[in-house]
Structure 1
Amino acid sequence: MYDLVVVGAGPYGLSIASHAAAAGLRLRVLGRPMASWRDHMPRGMLLKSEPSASALSDPEGIHTLTAYCADRGIEVGHGRPLPLDTFAEYGTWFGRHAAPPAEEMTVTHLAPHPSGFRIRTEEGEQLTTRAVALAIGVLPFAYRPTVLRGLPAGLVTHSTHHRELTRFRGKDVTVVGAGQAALETAVLLAEAGAEPRVVARASRIKWNAPPRPLGGRLPELYDPHSALGTGWPTWVWSRRPDAVRRLPAPVRLHIARRALGPAGAWWLRERFEPTVPVLLKHTVTAADRTTGIRRVGAGPGERVRLWLKAADGTARTLETSHVVAATGFVPDLFRLGLLDSTLQETLRRVGNSGAPWVSQDFESSHPGLFFAGLLTAPTFGPAMRFVHGASFTAPRLVAGVCRHVGAHPGDQVSDTATRTPRVAVPRSAARGDVAEPQVAGRDVKATR
């Protein structure tokens, strides 16, 4: 019997595991470290946020991205984008040095148990635990428009399905969306030898402004910096997720859906505009497979035909070799196939959404089941869509686990069985208290 099983080994899962180990909890961490970053984002991507603002959270606040880069002679700084691969390597390093070892297992079933929960893995292991922290990232919630769902993966994919884009060399590819994922994917496709275009409902492509120099009282007063960008609303989303939680559910849902909407990074613009054609104010209304000839001298092949409707009501069709849906993510418990049906059906939701209601310490309406990351954005706001939110989440969630475990004591297991390395536990953590994250206002910022 374990105190806690952390499902997921991305920024949230590793941060929670680091705090849980320091608190002396008996735990397991199940998942491939930094899987979505290492396996599901194209090579060549850069962090949209400031490198110094994308740290995972450990109780001492010392295993930061900035420290990792400094030790390796990697140049970082304000306004200097960092390669995504460097961030993925940092997260993997964090998992080795600041958290218990993650086991590359896939959880296939999570169900209530008299002692807490029963977990079953694809590898055939079954284990019981008093508490579970689901930090499963965004991949289960990848959204593909209904009109594209009937087409095979060889013709239509989500933007998270690609690590290598060289397979599209010489092909015309239509990217649907107007956010950073769509715009950067299109640029990387062009640089890989493809012929991309972007189709979007938006009336224009929005670009983030270059970051202004830090410091200065007057600019900070009227347009303050924060982890998620500049401006007072953004400052609140970044600094006060607990205040967001106190708002009425409809307001929180609106903020989670609308705040920090689609926009491209300032440093991408000069690579995008001369290279990628854009078809704005167009919505995809239907799609099917067709066979055509791409150009003179090219052989026939299966393609996608898109029916598009413009904002003025006019219609047109477009043929393309492949469609990449860079259409974001929708937090919905019914997309979590690992959840037992009793949990899916009985968990309390936020308003009319598919996201779970969670308490101030991220515990769901089923005692002992905790959520982290995107699923908590309708409760705590847009910070939970970014790595930045891990620093707020991890200590509070672990404090909630400690309270839950303390209220439900049970059998002990050996140190060997926990597979948790011995760590130096601060006195406060040994008592069940968890240190607050050591975060300075400008030192944490959102990562895509």
Structure 2
Amino acid sequence: MGAGPYGLSVAAHALAAGLEARVFGQPMRAWEWHMPRGMLLKSEPDASHLGDPDRRYGLDAFRRYSYGEPIPLETFVAYGKWFREQTVRDALDESTVTEIGTEGGLYTVALSSGARVRARTVVLALGFLPFAYRPTALAELPPEVSSHSSDHHDLSAFAGKHVAVLGAGQSALETATLLVEAGAKPRIVARTRSLVWNATPSGQRSIISRTLAPRSGLGSGWRSLVWAEMPGTVRYLPKGARNHIVRTTLGPAGSWWLRERFDGAVPVTLGVRLAGADHRGGVRLHLTTGQGKVETLETEHVIAATGYQVDVGRIDILDPNVRRRIRSAGPTPRLSRTFETPMTGLYLVGLAAAATFGPAMRFVHGCDFAARRVTRGLVSQVRKSA
């Protein structure tokens, strides 16, 4: 379920393993329609490959980029669709999945076309959209004046408007920059006292630098190397340690290439917490400073670029009984070494798997590892039922 980077990668591996597999969803839909036009990927080119068994269809097979060269969103979407043509082909059905339940020992998948499919196994590759986090302080605002950053592709609709962007990560900083370039009047509002920017990457590094801080798909450093290239090890750590790693690895920061466009163009209000909001002709955000003083910021719209919080209870295409069973151990269940949930034959990949396998699952870089592990589990399931 899902035809983004993780869904397509799992399908490519499953089909190559000789399994009868079908993929449901529009290829790269979330990337194409829920990220802002003009966006550039923060991930390096060598960390932006989808996964196929022989590693023949990486990004560099579609278009080569040098280290430190940002990839346009449109190019990455086109790459994903090309990858689908090379690997998944006729196994893709662009119907929307409306419900997943169980019947007679099999999973039943209801489609928007009216068809129903039965399967021994189901892989949920739902990406980030089901888990968009909106601060509770915005709950009383109507949707026409309050949204999440993933709600927008075309920011030109905000031309001439004052927009408060909540957050201090790449999504917030780039959204604000693109809003300025679309003719809007954005302002960053964040708890942090200062913005963090990634350093300009260097293609030439000394032997000492490469030894002390090896480069990986999640940046430089030995810890990043382990989380990026050996995510299976994260699963064996205590839950508290896993949560800490996911929460603190690659925290909120802006890309080096964005800073010149942002500085001087976007005003910022930092060191404040959002205490509440109301809508009386316009939006009023009530902010608490570090000294406990309450200030009010008036704007016409607020965009929460506040990231994503995984809770499998929010996967609404799952039948309530299925949802209840996989959530019984908490909002982010610990998965098996092949990404299987507490329900036999039901797998979770991508962001939803980060609590088990670490921060690599938050990024495209984790596709290949997840696809290989899941396919191993799928093959095992077929053999057991044969």
TM over 0.5: yes
State the shift of 1:256 in Å. Answer: 1.5
User: C-alpha distance in 1, partners of 2:290/2:265?
Assistant: 25
1:175 and 2:160 aligned: no
* Equivalent residue for 2:294, pick from 311, 315, 320: 315
Quote the residue 1:34 is aligned against. 28
Cα contact 1:348–1:364 (8 A) shared by 2: no
User: C-alpha distance in 1, partners of 2:34/2:327?
Assistant: 31
* Equivalent residue for 1:53, pick from 47, 57, 66: 47
Give the match's secondary structure for 1:12.
Answer: helix
In the TM superposition, 1:173-212 aligns within 5 A as 173-212=163-202
Q: Which runs of 4+ in 1 moved over 4 A?
A: none
In the TM superposition, 1:58-207 aligns within 5 A as 58-70=52-64, 76-101=65-90, 102-207=92-197
Give the match's secondary structure for 1:186.
Answer: helix
State the shift of 1:214 in Å. Answer: 4.6
Question: Number of paired residues?
Answer: 385
State the shift of 1:348 in Å. Answer: 5.7
User: C-alpha distance in 2, partners of 1:261/1:360?
Assistant: 26
Structure number with bigger Rg: 1
1:259 and 2:249 aligned: yes
Give the match's secondary structure for 1:327.
Answer: coil
Give the match's secondary structure for 1:93.
Answer: helix
1:17 and 2:11 aligned: yes
* Equivalent residue for 1:241, pick from 212, 222, 231: 231
Quote the residue 2:220 is aligned against. 230
1:337 and 2:316 aligned: yes
User: C-alpha distance in 2, partners of 1:222/1:138?
Assistant: 33
Instruction: Please list the CA deviations of residues 218-242 of structure 1 after superposition, one character each: whole Å capped at 9, or x if unmatched.
Output: 1111111110101122111111111
* Structure 1 alignment gaps of length 5 or more: 1-6, 71-75, 292-302, 410-448
1:381 and 2:358 aligned: yes
State the shift of 1:187 in Å. Answer: 0.1
Give the match's secondary structure for 1:97.
Answer: helix
State the shift of 1:100 in Å. Answer: 3.5
In the TM superposition, 1:435-446 aligns within 5 A as none
Quote the residue 1:285 is aligned against. 275
Quote the residue 2:371 is aligned against. 394
**Bigger mean CA deviation after superposition, 113-122 or 30-39:** 113-122
User: C-alpha distance in 2, partners of 1:237/1:113?
Assistant: 38
* Identical aligned residues as a percent: 48
Instruction: Please list the CA deviations of residues 40-79 of structure 1 after superposition, one character each: whole Å capped at 9, or x if unmatched.
Output: 1111100112123201001110111111014xxxxx2111
Amino acid across the alignment from 2:365: H
* Structure 2 alignment gaps of length 5 or more: none
State the shift of 1:113 in Å. Answer: 2.3
State the shift of 1:114 in Å. Answer: 2.0
State the shift of 1:216 in Å. Answer: 3.5
Give the match's secondary structure for 1:198.
Answer: strand
Cα contact 1:283–1:308 (8 A) shared by 2: yes
1:44 and 2:34 aligned: no
Amino acid across the alignment from 2:248: R
In the TM superposition, 1:420-439 aligns within 5 A as none
TM-score norm. by structure 1 comes to 0.84
TM-score norm. by structure 2 comes to 0.97
Larger RCO of the pair (alpha carbons < 8 Å, separation 6+): 1
User: C-alpha distance in 2, partners of 1:113/1:178?
Assistant: 46
Give the match's secondary structure for 2:245.
Answer: helix
